[in-house]
Structure 1
């Protein structure tokens, strides 16, 4: 759906200072301003749209587009991606739209393509994730590929010496409490500010700006009241950047993600699955799972398939209950289940992928055609109950139901046509449903006016004097 706004998430290299990140982003903003479709933008650094606190090298842009423009949102995204990746290759960027980004914050992942690499050893798992990312990057129709390895900046590593702590009678818990108070602070209470309850945090002065030498010289109080330097009780060093560890069901996992660029989700993931099976050999103990929107789509398809089967059973049950005739209920069901073929053909001819919306439209077609078939058979049955022949009953049923069928189909098609053509804001969201329903309604006319009467003649024409189903 073209929302008229873009969310641009960005990450600068791990450990990049706030000033350096700001310098790179100002150059990116110059590129954003050169795009004629951009109306305005806002930037967050160290936080994101959902007000999630992040590291100083991460954040996002909210870019508003002009209402009247020549290019779609996807075309503007492709242009911005090419400009920024060419000028600022150090920035890792990820594009999306507002609703998708906000829904992604509530779900496990924002990206439609997610390949989860599981394995015990981090080095081997990261190597496999890089191979998978390379395969995804070479797949047509993918963009914003990320290998899932999130590096954090350098950190101060304090490792206490158990023997020294025991020598001075200091427990590990007391040592950790003092260190926490010195560096991060301790919540000592709270104060009411407006409608918010704010924490009061106590910490040593200058803790945020302390150098490594000053940290090593910080005093640690012993149980007897004496003081010792921190480096007398622990080793204080700076560790290089390390990768974040992510787990799922208690198993270490690295998620490789990507977005789509002018391609449907199903065909893209199928191609990726085939390439990974051929090009990425997995050692024992390592395996791959597919998540993201693809996994949710497959689950939705399974549920919708169950609903489609239930709808067909209900159509059969209603026909059987009304006419108490298995033959009649079977004919009504047969015509109803042929209806989705028209919707499927319309989706194929228009190049519209099968998704939850189009699947819902196919289910609606089953109900619409089933209802009209029941009314047609009722007219046929009523005429036969008066003693009329089968041929005349079929002609009467067609004539009696012709105008209502045409009015129903034409009115529904006229109402859905703007959605099918993508006219109006948000029309792309319901476009697959509209195309599926219109295709089903177009096929419904020959099914109800030609196929059903032919089936009635075959089923009931052999015995002109047979009693009608009641």
Structure 2
């Protein structure tokens, strides 16, 4: 897994080409506002001894690649030539060159190989021995080679950073055929959470309406109270725009919390109207006037307590504030408009519903 907030995954076959793309994308990430701690995965750079056989020379001396490989392995890695018994235990007897003769490239080049006539042939006569930088790790996803450029996000939402770097990569990086780019890290969790939120919000709204119906036993009054939800959403959206905050997962969670508190204000008002009607107050205007006057303080206090409780989160500047601020901003902004509009719009809608 990737611990950074965003991981740009480049897929392809050639490791050197992948490294070039990763370095190029790393430079692009450094130019994106909010992208910090840029990390480019290293897959090459470890020295390796490479033996490139000359097949014509091998045939000249009657050698084959398998036998030469076995000789090299025995000389430098060791080969079992028998067993050593110690009581009931047995151990492989491994032989190889002394340490002084397997320390440098020259030792490999000057290794003697037995020819088919018993002659001693230096390895450099039948092969080219060199040191090159080779891969020390090869990462794969679904059998495809990949390399990662990753970074964290500060003082900005992840979605807008990914959108910006995605646009820059498409315009500035010319990927060869067979190479592709995907985005992962914590951003993957963000995408999955957004999909879950697309299910959670409608479910929450449906459950709210069902509970309203069972509380009042009336679809009409349930719909009346349900109008507090769009009224509160207006304030939440406006507050996000006013503070220049994007719609994020935490903002979506804030809307769910906001809807519950906003509906509570409507329940308080409608329940009071129903109580006055049951007690014999038949005049609609008198019922609305008395009910609103009686429940004004509870409605305002309910909204005030919730808003003040979220205020420290709304003005937070500490670590994790980028998650707290959208949530608190939505709740506070939504409660301000919901409280005002509930006290004004809901009585008007109640009047017309009762009049008809």
Larger radius of gyration: 2
Give 2:87's aligned residue. Answer: none
The correspondence of residues 255-266 of structure 1 with structure 2, limited to 5 A, is 255-260=148-153, 262-266=155-159
Closer, same or farther: CA 254–217 of 1 in aligned 2, 3 Å: closer
Whole-Å separation in 2 of the counterparts to 1:338 and 1:209? 84
The alpha-carbon deviation at position 109 of structure 1 amounts to: 1.8
* Residue equivalent to 2:262: 369
1:458 paired with 2:356, answer no
Contact 2:209–2:226 at 8 Å: present in 1 too?
A: yes
Matches within 5 A, 1:239-258: 239-242=132-135, 244-258=137-151
Residues 1:417 and 2:311 are matched in the alignment: yes
Change (3 A) 1:412 1:178: same
Alpha-carbon contact 2:9-2:183 (below 8 Å) kept: yes
Contact 2:109/2:129 (8 A) holds in 1: no
8 Å CA contact 2:76–2:96 kept in 1: the answer is no
Counterpart contact for 2:156–2:322, Cα < 8 Å: no
How many Å apart are 1:452 and its aligned residue?
1.4
Relative to structure 1, is the Cα distance of residues 393 and 158 closer, same or farther in structure 2, using a 3 angstrom cutoff? farther
Query: Does 2:296 correspond to 1:402?
Result: yes
> In 2, are the aligned partners of 1:152 and 1:244 still within 8 Å (CA)?
no
Shift of 1:315: 0.9
Identify the match of residue 278 of structure 1 among 163, 168, 171: 171
Cα pair distance change 1:167/1:238, threshold 3 Å: closer
Tell me how large the CA RMSD over aligned residues is.
4.2
Q: 1:351 to 1:179 in 2, by over 3 A?
A: same
How big is each residue's C-alpha offset from its partner over 1:101-121, in whole Å with a ceiling of 9 and x where there is no partner?
Answer: xxxxxxx22332322222234
Gaps of 5+ in 1: 1-107, 183-201, 220-227, 463-470
* Mapped contact 1:114–1:292 kept (Cα < 8 A): yes
How many Å separate the matches in 2 of 1:213 and 1:282? 38
- Alignment partner, residue 267 of structure 1: 160
Aligned to 1:348: 241
Distance 1:416 1:340, change over 3 A: same
Deviation at 1:365, TM superposition (A): 0.4
| Cα distance in 1, alignment partners of residues 315 and 5 from structure 2 | 25
**Equivalent-residue separation in structure 2 for 1:274 and 1:127 (angstroms):** 19
Deviations 1:144-164 (A, max 9, x none): 444544333213457999946
How far does residue 305 in structure 1 lie from its aligned partner after superposition? Answer: 2.8
SS at match of 2:234: helix
2:275 is aligned to 382
Aligned residues: 326
Q: For residue 337 of structure 2, give the secondary structure of its aligned residue in structure 1.
A: helix
Q: Structure 2: give runs of 5+ residues left out of the alignment.
A: 81-93, 112-119
Secondary structure, counterpart of 2:13 in structure 1: coil
Report SS of the residue matched to 1:120. Answer: coil
Match of 2:181 in 1: 288
Matches within 5 A, 1:97-116: 108-116=1-9
TM-score, normalised by the number of residues in structure 2: 0.74
Tell me the CA shift for residue 238 of structure 1.
3.0
Separation in 1, partners of 2:78, 2:346: 79
Contact 1:216 1:229 in 2 (8 A): no
Q: Per the alignment, in what secondary structure is the counterpart of residue 149 of structure 2?
A: strand
Query: Secondary structure, in 3 states, of the residue corresponding to 2:245?
Result: coil
Q: Is the 8 A contact 2:316 2:325 kept in 1?
A: yes
**1:90-239 alignment to 2 at 5 Å?**
108-157=1-50, 163=64, 179=77, 211-212=103-104, 216=108, 237-239=130-132
Q: Aligned equivalents of 1:167 and 1:210: distance in 2?
A: 16
Distance 1:217 1:181, change over 3 A: farther
The question of whether the paired residues in 2 share the 8 Å contact of 1:215 and 1:230 is answered with no
How much does 1:139 deviate? 3.4
In structure 2, the CA distance between the partners of 1:152 and 1:207, relative to structure 1 (3 Å rule), is farther
Relative distance call for 1:383 and 1:176 in structure 2 (3 A) is: farther
Contact in 2 for aligned 1:343/1:440 (Cα 8 Å): yes
Alpha-carbon offset, residue 316 of structure 1: 0.8
Q: Name the SS for the 1:374 alignment partner.
A: helix
Q: Distance in 2 between matches of 1:278 and 1:272?
A: 10
Closer, same or farther: CA 217–158 of 1 in aligned 2, 3 Å:
closer
